[in-house]
Amino acid sequence: MSDKPTSVSTSAAEPMIQIDGLVRTFKQAGETLNVLRGASLRVEGGELVALVGPSGAGKSTLLHIAGLLEKADAGEIRVGGKLANALSDAERTALRRQSIGFVYQFHHLLPEFSAVENIVLPQMISGIAKSVARKRAMELLELVGLGARASHRPARLSGGEQQRVAIARALANRPKLLIADEPTGNLDHKTAEDVFAVLANLVRGGDFGALVATHNLDLAARMDRILELRDGVLVQH
């Protein structure tokens, strides 16, 4: 039975992210590589969108631009309705910290800190009091099924548990958009299924959207939409 819903909430006044006409080129060995040629997308709240395409197609470049980690040569990006193009570097950093969460193929948890501390830290960096941040962190660990593992450091967690902590950490500051780059790519099939189920439940039960790059076409088919990056543009399946 598919866990793909029959409908997607679009109650938010603005999409979580809207990208129009992204262009990105690189110079390599004297040649111009046109990685993005006018790519456009939008992700609504409560929506899980798959991003697929062959290696080298430019998925990571697109994710970096969507996550305000890199600038495009042309095109507009709005996060939660806010135009990011004209922002200063400091303003882009603040918008990214407030509105975007990231999950990568490798969890990148800080090994010297416990699961709960890994989720507390990004909140404190954003100015949230430690007691409030810890309460939020424990709530998130419960949501991902790891409340009993809060005091464990990453080395004492399985690969799937580490990735679930990474998802909880990405949601710590209540982002409008979750960007996930191959979040199950380093996991075995059963663990990948478990992690995907946690991610899907959080997105569909929340008020944020998720853009998930994956090579796993089975998981992509169970998301709400599939966008394929093909010759620098996004094609919806």
DSSP secondary structure letters along 84-134:
-TT--HHHHHHHHHHHEEEE-SS----TTS-HHHHHHHHHHHTT--HHHHH
- pTM for the whole thing? 0.87
Highest mean pLDDT among 6-10, 138-142, 196-200: 138-142
d(CA 88, CA 47): 29
Q: Tens digit of pLDDT for each residue in 55-71?
A: 888 899 999 999 999 99
Domain ranges for the chain, please list them. Answer: 43-73+86-236
Q: Report how far apart, in Å, the C-alpha atoms of 48 and of each of 88, 122, 199, 211, 226 are.
A: 29, 24, 9, 6, 9
Element (H, E) at 23: strand 17-28
Q: Tens digit of pLDDT for each residue in 8-48?
A: 333 446 899 999 999 999 888 888 888 999 999 999 999 99
Query: Chain-wide mean pLDDT for the chain?
Result: 89
Q: Count of CB atoms within 10 A of residue 232's CB? A: 20
Mean pLDDT lowest among 3-7, 17-21, 129-133, 195-199: 3-7
d(CA 39, CA 234): 5
Could you tell me which CATH number the domain at 43-73+86-236 has?
Answer: 3.40.50.300
Residue 13's pLDDT is what?
A: 62
Percentage with pLDDT > 70 across the chain: 95
